[in-house]
């Protein structure tokens, strides 16, 4: 049994009308990368500190260059660089160790960018301690 289509119901006409829509969707998906140029932290040294027992305590400096960071250094030994990425919601994923934040049973629960502005770029790190308590620290560009 042969199928008969009227001119505007033929499958090739349907494909021609769907093609521009599919191309537009593909372009939108290609542009939605985890870290666009507007969502990059400015290069620099970020000083990290926590407010604890009525005073600010330094947790060291994180250096960021492009998509590479070096963990806080507590001694003069050279530090290795590791990659990081920023998701579209501003959450940072550290792809390597992060000094004391990830040592001694500590782990990173969340790192969230609070400002991309080169003058006052910053992010907050929520660290989970071995006994289950959480500590929040702020890292601000110097």
| Structure tokens, 59 | 């947790």
* DSSP annotation of 29: H
- Give the whole-angstrom CA distance, residue 140 versus residue 122: 4
Q: Is the pTM of this model over 0.75?
A: no
Q: Rg of the chain's alpha carbons, rounded to an integer?
A: 24
Per-residue pLDDT of the chain (142 residues; tens, 9 = 90+): 455 545 555 555 544 444 444 444 444 333 444 445 448 999 999 999 998 889 999 999 999 999 999 988 766 676 889 999 999 999 999 999 998 898 889 999 999 999 999 999 999 999 999 999 999 999 999 9
Query: Taking Cα atoms as reference points, which of 21, 27, 39, 13 lies closest to residue 93?
Result: 39
Q: Which CATH number fits domain 37-141: 1.20.120, 2.40.128, 1.20.950, 3.40.1350?
A: 2.40.128
């Amino acid at each position: 049994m042969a199928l008969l289509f009227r001119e505007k119901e033929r499958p090739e006409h349907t494909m021609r009308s769907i093609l521009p829509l599919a191309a537009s969707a593909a372009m939108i998906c290609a542009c939605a990368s985890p870290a666009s140029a507007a969502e990059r932290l400015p290069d620099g040294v970020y000083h990290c500190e926590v407010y604890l027992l009525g005073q600010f305590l330094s947790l060291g400096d994180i250096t960021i260059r492009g998509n590479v960071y070096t963990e806080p250094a507590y001694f003069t030994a050279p530090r290795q660089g590791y990659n990081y990425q920023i998701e579209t919601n501003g959450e940072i994923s550290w792809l390597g160790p992060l000094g004391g934040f990830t040592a001694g049973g500590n782990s990173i629960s969340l790192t969230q960018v609070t400002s991309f502005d080169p003058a006052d770029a910053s992010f907050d790190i929520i660290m989970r301690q071995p006994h289950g308590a959480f500590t929040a620290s702020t890292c601000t560009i110097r």
